[in-house]
Amino acid sequence: MKKRSAGRKALYVILVVYAIITVIPFLWALSSSFKTLGEIVSGSINFIPKDFTLDNYKQIFSKEPLFGRWLFNSLFIATVGTLLNLLFNSMAGYALARLSFPGKKSIFIIILAVLMIPFQVTLIPNFLILKELGWLNSYQGMIIPGAVNATFIFMMRQFFVNFPKEVEEAAAIDGLGRFGTFFRIVLPLAKPALAAQTIFVFMAFWNDFMRPLIILSDMDMFTLPLGLNSFKGQFISYWNYIMAASMVFTLPIIVLYAFFNRYFVKGIKFTGDK
């Protein structure tokens, strides 16, 4: 019995030490974002700012006219992109799971094959196609190519395959057509799968660095990751501003996570299912 409690203590030590290792960078960034530049450059190591100040946040929002714009761009692209993904992936997944039509099997195989292609291969041709379309430096250039995701088409298909058919049949008897059934009955019942997808897709848009780097060249079209990177070049030693901007950037994702947390773990499990 005693040996067992010693083992538990050792496990607690592992967990607590690792929790500290995880949190410290965030706490350090957060504390730096409330420090004055003087305190930042003095190189003193204190987690509680001596002169607590909100100036860094005021500075990035008021004196840096583009910061608000970058925040808007990121929110707009990620929100519209996520909504389109939810709609299109579910529609495609539903058709592949429920409807019968010629060529269904080949389409499904093509979608599975698309999953295996690393995106670096399509990166350069995509740039040239967007250039031809005149979509470089535009919202649609950022949103439309990412508005569908083969992984989640596959996931939605698996979800709808296991979905009880009776519900839809009942809706059909009540006189709802295919589209009515899909939007009013099927989608609302698919909430857990949609919630998991929301987090993953939103995060992918929100955190994406490489695609915006290639597609966007005007400063006022930048998303936050690009804006932050240009901040770094511009304010090379103003780490107080950079950290404040980083914190503003991180907050929406943490809020989203807190909101969908319940579904998140389920969602990960869900992708593991057959």
Residue closer to other proteins, measured from CB, 138 or 250: 250
Residue of the chain from 242, 244, 260, 263 that contacts other proteins (CB under 8 A): 242
Residue of the chain from 225, 244, 260, 263 that contacts other proteins (CB under 8 A): 225
**Containing H/E element for 127?**
helix 119-133
Q: Could you say which residues in the range 33-52 bind other proteins, by CB under 8 A? A: 43, 45
Q: What tokens does 31 get?
A: 């504390």
Size of the site for other proteins (CB under 8 A): 85
SS3 sequence, 49-84? CCCCCCHHHHHHHHHCHHHHHHHHHHHHHHHHHHHH
Q: Could you say which residues in the range 132-151 bind other proteins, by CB under 8 A? A: 144-145, 147-148, 150
Residue closer to other proteins, measured from CB, 176 or 253: 253
Q: What tokens does 71 get?
A: 């925040």
Any contact of residue 265 with other proteins (CB under 8 A)?
yes
Map residues 165-204 to x or -, x wherever contact with other proteins holds by CB under 8 A.
-------------x---x--------------------x-
Taking the complex as a whole, the smallest distance from the CB of residue 54 to other proteins amounts, in Å, to 19
Any contact of residue 79 with other proteins (CB under 8 A)?
no
Handedness of CA 248, 254, 260, 263 (dihedral sign): positive
Residue closer to other proteins, measured from CB, 61 or 183: 183
Any contact of residue 32 with other proteins (CB under 8 A)?
yes
Nearest CA to 211 out of 230, 197, 232, 225 is that of 225
Taking the complex as a whole, the smallest distance from the CB of residue 205 to other proteins amounts, in Å, to 11
Any contact of residue 112 with other proteins (CB under 8 A)?
no
CA distance 203 to 257: 10
Residue 210: burial class (beta carbons within 10 Å; 0-12, 13-18, 19+) = exposed
* Contacts made by residues 162-169, CB under 8 angstroms, sequence distance 24+: 163/97, 163/189, 163/190, 168/98
Q: What tokens does 184 get?
A: 């009013």
Residue of the chain from 160, 239, 260, 263 that contacts other proteins (CB under 8 A): 239
Taking the complex as a whole, the smallest distance from the CB of residue 239 to other proteins amounts, in Å, to 5
CB half-sphere exposure, 126, CA atoms < 13 A: 16
Residue of the chain from 61, 76, 88, 163 that contacts other proteins (CB under 8 A): 88
